[in-house]
Chain A
Amino acid sequence: MFLKDYILDVYNGVSSLLKGMRKTGYYFTHPKEIITEQYPDNRATLKLADRFKGEVIMPHDDNNEHACTGCTACEIACPNGTIKVVTKSEVNAEGKKKKAVDALVYRLELCTMCNLCVIACPSDAIKMAPNFEHSVFDRTKLTKILNQPGSKIREGIE
């Protein structure tokens, strides 16, 4: 009858609301559940994943040598023209003329971090570094030359 439905309606409504309040009340009284990371205060202990795609770098070893042969495979693989390889011709140890990389111009402002250049490289010369703080005041700083000055290719890389 009408009165029973009315009372049941009120009771069900109120109990559903109270259940919801209990859930939020639980979170109010348990501040340990807070998972906010207090960046930039925690820069010292911040740990990013190794594979995080922040920017492209060319790792150099202790003798200032890299593995890039100047084959321009990365330039061909890049979808929007972020990488431009400037090559020069130099004479190697056996006296033959070979192509070598002069500068690998990498424009960070255009990069979409799609990783296609890294998997296209046949000699594993470039990789992605987990660095995400790229803000600069001067836009020309975002055009980077990946091989360091005075570096040359390691032995035995083809």
Chain B
Amino acid sequence: MYNQTEVIKDTTELGPEGELVINMGPQHPATHGVLHLVVTLNGETIKKIEPHLGYIHRSIEKMCESLTYRQFIYVTSRMDYLSSHINNTACALLVEKGMQIEVPERAQYIRVILNELTRIASHELWLGAMAMDLGAFTPFFYAFREREMITDIMEDTCGARLTMNYIVPGGVMYDIHPEFQTKVKAFIKQFKEKVTEYEDLVTNNIIFQSRTKGVGVLSREDAISFGCTGPVARASGVSCDIRKIAPYDVYNKVEFDEVIETAGDSFARYMVRIKEMNQSIRIIEQLIDSIPEGEFVGKTKNVLKLPKGEFYQRVETARGEFGVYIVSEGGTTPHRIKFRSPGFSNLSALSHMAEGSKIGDLMATMGTLDLVIPDIDR
């Protein structure tokens, strides 16, 4: 039998120039899911990072080929589970576009309010998880207190807390709960009081600033060439908010700013998300009092059939641009469906961003990328 040291000598890899190759994950407290990173180190400096994906691949795209156009929406909630309403909206919008279904205005308002609430909830979780990666354990619990209020609102109206499945082609499944507006207003009030807490504890903290400023810089040209979208690209100066470029639902009627920073480092990505949360609150405030009366779902046929052809719809999730692409042969199920996930393109820029920095900076960079691995692996 082998001595243990002989076995280790055979399996410890060395890179092409004799550098050290180590594995981070797939089980690791900081990789936010099952992500396997093969890191090539030169002493303590990172030379190359290679992500190995596929640990949570569930062949969702193949599965959707046997589901009808009403049934395939619930699967997208399980992909990027932190922006489930936004993913569902993308699928519903695609079916409505293909079949020319009219969506009543009440449903559009409800959809936009729920989307923005989901965006705030996703950013809150990101804030807590990123602070925890860097060693500050308390902002996690403060962020979850706000997220708890949002999930309570979702539980009242949609019936579930994480994978809501409330949006159908034509509108929404049920009318909103009678207490929806009061609860959302109470949440807005609490959020505005507590947002200064994050500033005191995290943003203005000198230790946090020195760990994220100048770390993981992504230039504007690199962001465009890697295909990064969402806060990652907006922090490098790329203007890519789908809600402004190709507005859907009632986004063309509300006033909000697109948050752009130019520094491109981790601190800029952090500030973009914090300011986005404030902009989402602004959108909700404009809409919550003026939800028009009317139907909550449009008239649709019993069996939905998309005409023959190709259709594409994109929305802005909390992570970036999410796209749904369907090739239809005229039947009740899609012939081929493809999801463009924002995390996949953002992850591809990680190797470029982390090259030349130390291992300690890798945590800060990965934290600000906001990766959700089921979204990447589908």
In the docked arrangement, what's the CA distance between A20 and B157, Å? 36
B155 at the interface (CB under 8 A from A): yes
With beta carbons under 8 angstroms apart, the residue of A12, A48, A116, A119 that contacts B74 is A116
Residues of chain B with a CB closer than 8 A to A79's CB: 67, 71-72, 74-75
Task: Report the count of interface residues on B (CB-CB < 8 A).
Answer: 28
**A17-B205 contact given A79-B74, A114-B74, CB 8 Å threshold:** yes
In the docked arrangement, what's the CA distance between A113 and B71, Å? 12
**A128-B159 contact given A114-B165, A115-B165, CB 8 Å threshold:** yes
B276 CB to nearest chain A CB (Å): 23
Residues from 13 to 38 in B contacting A, C-beta threshold 8 Å: none
Residues of chain A with a CB closer than 8 A to B204's CB: 16, 19-20
Write the chain B residue with the least CB distance to A51: B159
A91 at the interface (CB under 8 A from B): no
Q: Is the CB of A52 within 8 A of B197?
A: no
A60 at the interface (CB under 8 A from B): no
**B161-172 to A contact mask, C-beta < 8 Å, 1/0:** 001010010000
In the docked arrangement, what's the CA distance between A11 and B358, Å? 29
B50 at the interface (CB under 8 A from A): no
Residues from 146 to 188 in B contacting A, C-beta threshold 8 Å: 148, 155-160, 163, 165, 168, 173-174, 177
A23 at the interface (CB under 8 A from B): yes
Residues from 1 to 46 in A contacting B, C-beta threshold 8 Å: 12-13, 16-17, 19-20, 22-24, 35
With beta carbons under 8 angstroms apart, the residue of A12, A24, A52 that contacts B160 is A52
**A16-B206 contact given A35-B145, A52-B160, A128-B159, CB 8 Å threshold:** yes
Q: Is the CB of B156 within 8 A of A49?
A: yes
In the docked arrangement, what's the CA distance between A77 and B304, Å? 12
Q: Is the CB of A12 within 8 A of B206?
A: yes
A84 at the interface (CB under 8 A from B): no
- Rank and list the top 6 A-B pairs by shortest CB-CB distance, nearest first: A79-B71, A51-B159, A114-B74, A13-B206, A53-B159, A49-B155
With beta carbons under 8 angstroms apart, the residue of A12, A16, A23 that contacts B197 is A23
- Chain A: number of interface residues, binned into ranges: 20 to 34
In the docked arrangement, what's the CA distance between A77 and B74, Å? 12
A148 at the interface (CB under 8 A from B): no
Q: Is the CB of A17 within 8 A of B70?
A: no
In the docked arrangement, what's the CA distance between A114 and B173, Å? 11
Q: Is the CB of B206 within 8 A of A17?
A: yes
**A19-B200 contact given A13-B206, A49-B156, CB 8 Å threshold:** yes
In the docked arrangement, what's the CA distance between A113 and B173, Å? 14
Residues of chain A with a CB closer than 8 A to B165's CB: 113-115
Residues of chain A with a CB closer than 8 A to B200's CB: 19-20, 22-23
A64 at the interface (CB under 8 A from B): no
Pairs across A and B, CB under 8 Å, 27 listed: A12-B206, A13-B206, A16-B204, A16-B205, A16-B206, A17-B206, A19-B200, A22-B200, A23-B197, A23-B200, A23-B201, A24-B138, A24-B201, A48-B155, A49-B155, A51-B158, A51-B159, A77-B70, A79-B71, A79-B72, A79-B75, A113-B159, A113-B160, A114-B74, A114-B165, A115-B165, A119-B173
In the docked arrangement, what's the CA distance between A79 and B75, Å? 10
Residues of chain B with a CB closer than 8 A to A17's CB: 205-207
A83 CB to nearest chain B CB (Å): 13
Q: Is the CB of A115 within 8 A of B173?
A: yes
In the docked arrangement, what's the CA distance between A20 and B202, Å? 8
Q: Could you list 5 further interchain pairs (A-B, Cβ under 8 angstroms) beyond the known A12-B206, A49-B159?
A: A16-B205, A20-B204, A51-B156, A112-B74, A115-B165
